Structure 1
Amino acid sequence: MRYRSTRGDGSEDYSFEQALFSGYAPDGGLFVPASLPQLAAVEHLIPWSRLTFPELCYEILRLFISQNEISNIDLREICYKSLSAEDFDDDNIVPIKKMGSVFVAELFHGPTFCFKDLGMRPVINLLSHFAKIRNQATTLLVATTGDTGPAAVRAVGDASNPLLTILVHYPHGQISEFQRKSLTTVDSKCVRIVSFEGGGDDMDSPIKQTLLNCNDSDGADKKRSFCGVNSYNIGRPLVQMVHFIWIYLRVAKKLGITPGDENIKIDVVLPTGAMGNMTGGYMAKQMGIPIGRLCAGVNINDITKRVIETGLFQKKKIQKTLSDAINIEVPYNFERILFYLTNGNASLVKQWMETMEQTQMLRLNPSWHHKLQADFQSARITDDETCRALRQTLETYHYVVDPHTAVAIAAADRLGYSVFDERSENENPVVVLATASPCKFQEAVTAALGPDGWKQYRQTSFPSRAQQTLEMRENEPHHFCWIEGATLSEVQSDWRKKMLDIVDKHF
């Protein structure tokens, strides 16, 4: 399997290792597989329905990674190490529960209590595998709005590879106390944490510039390789396909559907930020998984809803919300969505993304907009509506969810899936993705349920591992200040210099 850029003409292709380590493609686009294998019911889906989660992960990744790059034995070991039942508090890794007429897929049973563990741990272990083969120091550069960073930090620690280090940046005051402590309580020479003043997307440009400037095609002749593991890295959506396929197979079994039956599609509603998870689902659909509509639940930072509803993809300043992990100005994975939407028309995607980068705005013509609407829906959920959904879920099902899952639940109800009764307006079964544990979001849960509601949750359902994190001593993070009177570009240039200084001094 080879890889190409969403903006390339296809004349240049890359190995999986090159794509994984580069993060962004040299032309500024995102890597995608040169082709997507098509999954058949008899050959793939029916046998896969009997596999464990790590076994399914192996089978899917084997389709995308040449045996010349990673042997069967090594890839199997990576999958089992990444998704060991010892590190998850449910043996199924992703259990599926029924909530009225809706299925709920719990993606948060990993070490850092969010779905990012499912994608991040295999990606980190793949990077660690190649770093050992290269015998090359590799530093991961990460910007996080709350969940990506802790998952990456924990995975790097568990990889126990001195060649692999990580520098994580988070927006000061814009993540929960638990998320912050999940970063600042890690005591490792391989880890450094930075808080920065600004919006959640403001570190994306310094990191992207560093990755494009400091890496050549494979980094093999350099003393240090830099790599990004946010969801622009192709490893993330590839691995996140696994839980979409797992969810489809498990829901199909519960409904008595033969895997691969095209007559019954399953819709998915998920809280959506950078669209990495959405991209994993869309790629799975493109490969033949009978997924119906992919429905994005967004908060008031609603660029995804606006482009699906109006065809206008326009950047706006981020506003603080109770669901901060999906706060986004520009979801970079929309580029991959457009690539598959246009059947791989990289020339058109390049034109669109250059327009977006130059003007902060892109308008899809009616034909492409209608095609987007055929596969995607979205609903915008305010903080008040998030709290209402959280309360109603508890009152109706005695089930406490985090604010991001509450956004998805409210979106599902808004889109006619009737979460709280049996009168769904949609023909297809629906799955809501529960992407994080409520243990991480005291402020939001308290806002919805009141102090007594949070106290009750703490007494009856709070994970013991989470309590241990809260009790640990924090290490003071580095801090990047905003330069008074400076432009965003000037601030980002200063932050990039400081970021590289930290790498030089500490790694």
Structure 2
Amino acid sequence: MELVNLKESSDTASFSQAIVRGLGKNQGLYFPTAIPKLANMDQLLEKPFVERSVEVLHALIGDELGEGVLDDVVKEAFTFPAPVEKITDDIYTLELFHGPTLAFKDFGGRFMAQCLSRILDGKPVTILTATSGDTGAAVAHAFHGIENINVVILFPDGKISPLQEKLFSTLDGNIHTVAIDGDFDDCQALVKKAFDDQQMREELHLNSANSINISRLLAQVCYYFEAVSQIPEAERDNLVISVPSGNFGNLTAGLIAQAMGLPVKRFIAATNLNDTVPRYLKTGEWDPKKTVATMSNAMDVSQPNNWPRIEGMIERGYTDKALLKGESVDEQYTHLALRQLAQAGYTSEPHAAIAYRSLTHGMESGEKGLFLGTAHPAKFRETVENALGQPISLPKALADVAGEDSLAVKLSADYETLKKHIFDTLKGNA
């Protein structure tokens, strides 16, 4: 597999090189030089999830990891289902929260961990990543206890749900968490500065596990195929998929799946009040505003890192901008969508509720809709209970950490302060 840096076309990488580097030169994102078109789609969609995922990823990556290695990676990473549930006659949801940290990012986090541990073969590396909520837990659990890999996770202090934070800030050993006094964009900016710092890169062997890492992104392609495989065949050609969008890795993965031949009529990019992309799609002007804190905190992103990949796909003809619609949903309508889903007999959470609202607002006559359920509703217990006026129970993964103390260190959004903390913490361990 050949990948190219979208900012520096002379900077190319194999899949293995891109996983290890994370970002390319000038903070550029790696992206495939070509996206393969899959044949016999109907036969492919009849296969079991893991078997199909191996075939999809093999088409993208090839034999680079070695014979049989990709099969083993997928089998060890994708050990949980992604079921589709019917909400109404015309609307379905894809539940992506049945993994160990109850969020869609378990797919990408576990796939990356399995790939990287084999590629490094015992060489040291430091994973530095920012999270707006679910990435932190998925990455922490995927890499926890893996020898010679340290993980440093930055998150906006007080701006993710308490249970989201507990899922990763209570781990010890090779997992190190930092609560930054700022928003997610501040955390993301600190990560970018670290990757521009030669001393950090070389002495700590930096890598990132955000969706900027190509391995995370490619893993997410697989569950779009799983979603469509569960939709009645007669409805697939008119299927509209609404994706709750923050950093836009999830939507990028869906567009890659579509480019590979997956039958999806069009996509809806569903955001909260942080509506940079919906405004851009309507006006053609890229005008990020200051990030606004919302109940759908994992989407509180004003400058989505993955958007250049989508722009690259549009420029290369892999996707049609006209088939991508943006919808922004405010707090009032998010609450309303949660209640509407409950009235339909389905308990959801704010991010999926935004995707549901965007879908019902954006579907046309004769279309069928699917929205992505990216997290278990219990991860946003207080918000959901407030909206529905009734208690919800905690699954075991959350109940086990709810009473534990956070091990996160609080720091300002100052790069030199963060750099000193990381070196002091990891000295002799990286």
Normalization by structure 2: what TM-score? 0.94
Offset from partner CA, 1:333-383 (integer Å, 9 cap, x none): 1100111111179xxxxxxxxxxxxxxxxxxxxxx9xx62x1211221111
- Equivalent in the alignment of 2:400: 468
Among all aligned residue pairs of Structure 1 and Structure 2, give the percentage whose two residues are the same amino acid: 28
- Equivalent in the alignment of 2:268: 295
For residue 32 of structure 1, report the CA deviation from its aligned partner: 0.5
User: How many Å separate the matches in 1 of 2:48 and 2:196?
Assistant: 38
- AA aligned to 1:130 is I
* Correspondence for 2:194 among 198, 210, 223: 210
* Structure 2: gaps of 5 or more residues: none
Indicate how the Cα distance of structure 1 residues 476 and 152 shifts in structure 2: closer, same or farther if over 3 A, else same: same
Is residue 448 of structure 1 aligned with residue 382 of structure 2?
no
- Equivalent in the alignment of 2:33: 34
1:57-68 alignment runs, 5 A limit? 57-67=53-63
- Equivalent in the alignment of 2:65: 70
- Equivalent in the alignment of 1:198: 182
- Equivalent in the alignment of 1:351: none
Counterpart contact for 1:141–1:228, Cα < 8 Å = yes
- Equivalent in the alignment of 2:372: 433
Is residue 162 of structure 1 aligned with residue 147 of structure 2?
yes
For residue 248 of structure 1, report the CA deviation from its aligned partner: 1.8
User: How many Å separate the matches in 2 of 1:83 and 1:227?
Assistant: 22
Is residue 225 of structure 1 aligned with residue 148 of structure 2?
no
Calculate the aligned-residue CA RMSD, in Å: 2.2
- Equivalent in the alignment of 2:292: 319
1:20-419 alignment runs, 5 A limit? 20-40=19-39, 42=40, 45-67=41-63, 69-84=64-79, 88=80, 93-100=81-88, 101-132=90-121, 135-157=122-144, 160-187=145-172, 189-214=173-198, 224-251=204-231, 254-256=232-234, 264-343=237-316, 372=321, 374-395=322-343, 397-415=344-362, 417=363
For residue 250 of structure 1, report the CA deviation from its aligned partner: 2.1
User: How many Å separate the matches in 1 of 2:419 and 2:54?
Assistant: 37
Offset from partner CA, 1:199-240 (integer Å, 9 cap, x none): 111122221232244499xx9xx6642100101111122111
Counterpart contact for 1:206–1:496, Cα < 8 Å = no
User: How many Å separate the matches in 2 of 1:464 and 1:210?
Assistant: 36
Structure number with larger C-alpha Rg:
1
Indicate how the Cα distance of structure 1 residues 379 and 12 shifts in structure 2: closer, same or farther if over 3 A, else same: closer
* Correspondence for 1:495 among 377, 398, 418: 418
- Equivalent in the alignment of 1:13: 12
Q: Secondary structure at the match of 2:92?
A: strand
Counterpart contact for 1:272–1:297, Cα < 8 Å = yes
For residue 12 of structure 1, report the CA deviation from its aligned partner: 4.3
User: How many Å separate the matches in 1 of 2:199 and 2:20?
Assistant: 9
Indicate how the Cα distance of structure 1 residues 66 and 223 shifts in structure 2: closer, same or farther if over 3 A, else same: farther
- AA aligned to 1:121 is R
User: How many Å separate the matches in 2 of 1:33 and 1:215?
Assistant: 29
Q: Secondary structure at the match of 1:81?
A: helix
User: How many Å separate the matches in 2 of 1:223 and 1:313?
Assistant: 36
For residue 119 of structure 1, report the CA deviation from its aligned partner: 1.4
- AA aligned to 1:235 is S
- AA aligned to 2:208 is G
Normalization by structure 1: what TM-score? 0.80
Q: Secondary structure at the match of 1:426?
A: coil
- AA aligned to 2:35 is L
User: How many Å separate the matches in 2 of 1:439 and 1:147?
Assistant: 13
Counterpart contact for 2:23–2:29, Cα < 8 Å = yes
- AA aligned to 2:75 is Y
For residue 497 of structure 1, report the CA deviation from its aligned partner: 3.8
Indicate how the Cα distance of structure 1 residues 129 and 214 shifts in structure 2: closer, same or farther if over 3 A, else same: farther
Q: Secondary structure at the match of 1:108?
A: coil
Offset from partner CA, 1:161-209 (integer Å, 9 cap, x none): 212220111100001011111012213x111111010011112222123
User: How many Å separate the matches in 2 of 1:375 and 1:439?
Assistant: 33
Counterpart contact for 1:119–1:236, Cα < 8 Å = yes
